[in-house]
A and B are shown apart, each in its own frame.
Chain A
Amino acid sequence: MHPGPTPPPLDESEAIARVLAGERDAFHVLLQRHSGPLLATLRAVLRNREDAREVLQETWLRAYRNLDRLREPARLRAWLVSIALNLARAHHRRARDGELDSGRDGDPVAPADGGRGAGVDLEEREDLARLRELMASLPARQREVVDLRVNHELSHSEIAELLGISEAASRANYYQGLQRLKQSMGAALGTQT
């Protein structure tokens, strides 16, 4: 059977309006679009794959229940990140206070597929592994800002609000983080980048 023309991707504002009108399936658009970057952020913050998955689930459920409180659909990404970061902080606190299963500490963050994505050659895999290490070695603030800017495409003003820093500090951390990554990648490859 011919599948026919693919419908255009649903605009996020439209998806939000439909969910609020009772179309639960429209939420899937948001889930698909934002889960990857959110999970990457949570894994970097929590440094535990299983915890990150759990907090991401809770993030989505909270977002679903409170979707009517989102006054500006254009701020959806920043809103989701703020929910995720708040839940991650709460998770951290519970872990610190011993309320969570301590056995989870033995599940460090690692690529879900061991870095063996389809069609990824050895050289690219090594570069990505190196980049992953370098990102993890950045100072926390630089890593957070680079992640929020690159993966979530948040503005510096949104990042500043989320992290409680100034916009200038967000910019400075972003440029310094990128510069450090470039220098380290160049040094690792033995080339002048």
Chain B
Amino acid sequence: MTNENLDPGADAPRAGAACERVVGRLALQVDGALAPLDAARDGGHLESCGPCRQALARHLALLSSLRGLSQRDTARDVEQVVAAVRARLDRTPPPRRAAARVSGPARATRRRALGLAAAAAAVLLLAALEAWTSLPDLDPARLARLDWPVELPNWSEVVRGLESLARRIS
């Protein structure tokens, strides 16, 4: 889509092709959307062409009217809303500073603690798996002949492993 297609020059002065081009993309010029070279060229034309300047003035007046329209239509309501909001703010807890949220050292400590917990859970899971696989077949006849208790993992070794892991992580 070309610039000209976006803003066809329906209000172009009855003049040359330059006027048609400049007025055709006035909205882009005002919007700062023209390439620098085009903007400079159109700006130069506007300085020397009265009818195009009038078209520019009408465009700016439209924008100004649109802004004025919203202000005029809302002025009284805005006063009332502002007063109501201020009254309600008095009963609303103030926003916290972003810095007051968990950040910096506190966040690092929490992350380390989470890491430790995950590592501990993984070690416990491995130990449990080992205990499970070391169980004999659950044949009732064999179970009856077994000397209980079934060999369990050495928990002091598990704890020592955990402590070592925790030291390495921290």
- Give the B-binding residues of A (Cβ under 8 A): 19-22, 24, 27-28, 31-32, 35-37, 39-40, 43, 49, 52-53, 56-57, 60-61, 64-69, 71, 111-113, 115, 117, 120, 127-128, 131-132, 135, 146-147, 149-151, 168, 171-172, 174-176, 178-179, 181-183, 185-186, 192-193
Bound CA span A24–B85, Å: 12
B58 within 8 A of A: yes
Cα distance A178–B66 when bound, in Å? 10
Q: Are B76 and A113 in contact (CB under 8 A)?
A: yes
Q: Is B67 an interface residue (CB 8 A)?
A: yes
Q: CA–CA, A19 to B73, complex, Å?
A: 29
Rounded to whole Å, the gap between the CB of A174 and the closest CB of chain B is 7
With the chains together, A24 CA to B96 CA distance in Å? 12
Does B102 lie at the interface of the complex (its beta carbon under 8 Å from any beta carbon of A)?
no
Q: A117: nearest residue on chain B (CB-CB)?
A: B72
Binds A, one of B7-15, B112-120, B137-145, B155-163: B7-15
> Can you name the residue of chain B whose Cβ is closest to the Cβ of A63?
B95
Show the binding face of B for A, using Cβ within 8 Å.
1, 6-8, 10-11, 27-28, 31, 33, 58-59, 62-63, 65-78, 80-82, 84-86, 88-90, 92-98, 100-101
Do residues B72 and A24 form an inter-chain contact, with CB atoms below 8 A?
Answer: no
Residues on B with C-beta less than 8 A from A71 are: 98
Report whether A175 and B84 are in contact in the complex, using a CB–CB cutoff of 8 Å.
no
Q: How far is the CB of A74 from chain B (nearest CB, A)?
A: 16
How far apart are the CA atoms of A39 and B94 in the complex, in Å? 24
Do the beta carbons of A193 and B11 come within 8 Å of each other? yes
Question: Chain B residues with Cβ under 8 A from A67's Cβ?
Answer: 95
Given A67-B95, A178-B7, also A128-B70 (CB < 8 A)? no
Within 8 Å by CB of A113, from B8, B33, B75, B96, lies B75
Name the contact of B65 in the complex, choosing from A61, A128, A168, A179 (C-beta under 8 A). Answer: A128
9 closest pairs, A vs B, by CB?
Answer: A40-B70, A175-B6, A67-B95, A112-B76, A39-B74, A175-B7, A68-B98, A60-B85, A35-B78
Q: B65 and A127: CB pair below 8 A?
A: yes
Cβ–Cβ < 8 Å partners of B93 in chain A: 65
A182 and B6 in contact, given A39-B77, A135-B69 (Cβ under 8 angstroms): no
Q: Which residues of A contact B7 (CB under 8 A)?
A: 175-176, 178-179
